[in-house]
Amino acid sequence: MNENALTTSSSTRPGLVRRILRSPLVRIGVLGFLLLLMMGLNGDVMTSYAGEPFKSVQHIVALAIAGFAVYIAYAFFIEQRAVSELALPGMGRELGIGLVIGAGLYAACELILMALGYYRITGLNSLSFMVPAIAMALSSGVFEELLFRGVLYRSVETWFGSWAALVVSSLVFGLTHLMNPEATLEGALFIAVEAGTLLAGAYMLTQRLWLSMGFHVAWNYTQSAIFSSIVSGNEAAQGLIRSTVDGPDFLTGGNFGVESSVLSLVLCTSTGIVMVVMAVKRGKIVPPMWKRSV
C-alpha cells in the first residue's frame, strides 16, 4: 500500500509542475522574461554594430531565429502543444499581406502630409541608406509580436477571452512606449489604440502571428528606411528620402513621430476594426473560461 502511494505521488508531481508552468501567469513571467532578455541583446547588437549595418542585420536575424526557437521550445516541451500560431502553411501569404498593408498605411500618412505641404522631399540618398533600418524593423517586428501577441495576448485570452486580451495587450504595448525618448502619455495611448487594435486584430482574425509581424516590420521599416522619419520618439535616421517636416503636431506627431498623429490613429485603427469585425463574423472570438462549455 505504501509502495502504491509512493508511485502515485511520484507520478503526479511532474504533472503538477508542468501545469504550473503551463498556466497563463507563469507563461507570461517565464517566456516573457526570456524574450525580454533577448530584446535587450538586440539593442546591444544594434548599438555595437551601428557603423556596420550588414553585420547588425546578420546578428539580428540570428537572434530572431533564436527567439522563434525559444518560443517554440516552450510550447513543445512545457505546454506540450503544436505551435499553430507559427505554423508554416500560409505563412508567405499572411506575411506578404502584412508587409504590403503595413507599408501602405505608413506611406498613406506621409502622402497626406505631403499633399498638405507639411512633408517636403528635398532629395534622395543612395540605396545603401535603406540597410540599417532592416535590423531595427526585424527586431521590433519579430520580438514584440512574439511577446505582446504570442505571449501576452494568448495568455490573457486563455483565461479571460479575446476581448480582454485585445484590451490588455493593446494597453501594455502602448504604455511600454513611455520608455522611449521623447515619449508622451498621448503618444503611448495613440499607439495603444491604433497599433494595439491593428496588431491584436490581425492575430484575432488569423489566430497566427505572421500577419501582425508583417504589419509591424513594414510600418517601422517604411517609416525609417524610406521616409527617414522618427520611429516612436527615437532619433530619426537618414533613409532613402531626404525631407523636412513642418506642421501641427496633431498631424505630424511632433517629436514622437507619425504614430502620435491623428492620421495614423484613424488609418490604423480603422484597419484594425475591420479585422476585428471579420474575426467576429468568422466566429474567431474566444469567450472567457467561465463561459465555455465543459
Alpha helix positions (H), 207-256: 210-221, 249-252
* pLDDT score of 157 more than 90: yes
d(CA 115, CA 105): 15
Is 151 in contact with 31 (CB distance < 8 Å)?
yes
Q: For 42-56, 95-109, 159-173, which range has the lowest pLDDT when averaged over its residues?
A: 42-56
pLDDT of residue 257: 86
Q: Over pLDDT 70: what percentage of the chain?
A: 95
> Which string of DSSP letters, residue by residue, matches 106-119?
HHHHHHHHHHTTSE
The 10s digit of each residue's pLDDT in 258-281 is 999 999 999 999 999 999 999 999
CA dist 154 and 209 (Å) reads 11
Do 98 and 215 meet the contact criterion of CB atoms below 8 Å apart? yes
- Is the whole model's pTM more than 0.85, yes or no? yes
Q: Tell me what pLDDT residue 235 has.
A: 77
Q: Answer whether residue 109 shows pLDDT above 80.
A: yes
Please name the residue that has the C-alpha cell 502511494: 5
**177-191 residue pLDDT tens:** 888 887 788 889 999
How many percent of the chain have pLDDT more than 90?
76
11 pLDDT band, cuts 50/70/90, is very low
Q: Which of 211, 215, 172, 203 is nearest to 286 (CA)?
A: 203
What confidence score (pLDDT) does residue 179 get? 87
d(CA 36, CA 26): 15
User: For 40-97, what is each residue's pLDDT tens digit?
Assistant: 999 899 989 888 999 999 999 999 999 999 999 999 999 999 999 999 999 999 999 9
Q: How confident is the model at residue 12 (pLDDT cuts 50, 70, 90)?
A: very low
> Which regions of the chain does DSSP assign to beta strands (E)?
119-124, 241-245
**Which of 147, 140, 139 is CA-nearest to residue 169?**
147
Rounded to the nearest 10 degrees, how much is the dihedral formed by the CA atoms of 61, 175, 33, 276? -70
Report residue 204 CA to chain centroid gap.
13
Helix crossing, 24-48 with 132-145: angle to 10°?
Answer: 170
Residue 233 pLDDT: 73
Q: For residue range 219-258, what is the model confidence (pLDDT) as tens digits?
A: 999 999 999 988 887 777 889 999 999 999 999 988 888 9
Longest CA–CA span in the chain (Å) reads: 86
Q: Which of 147, 186, 151 is nearest to 39 (CA)?
A: 147
User: What is the DSSP code (8-state) at residue 23?
Assistant: S
Quick one: pLDDT at residue 230? 82
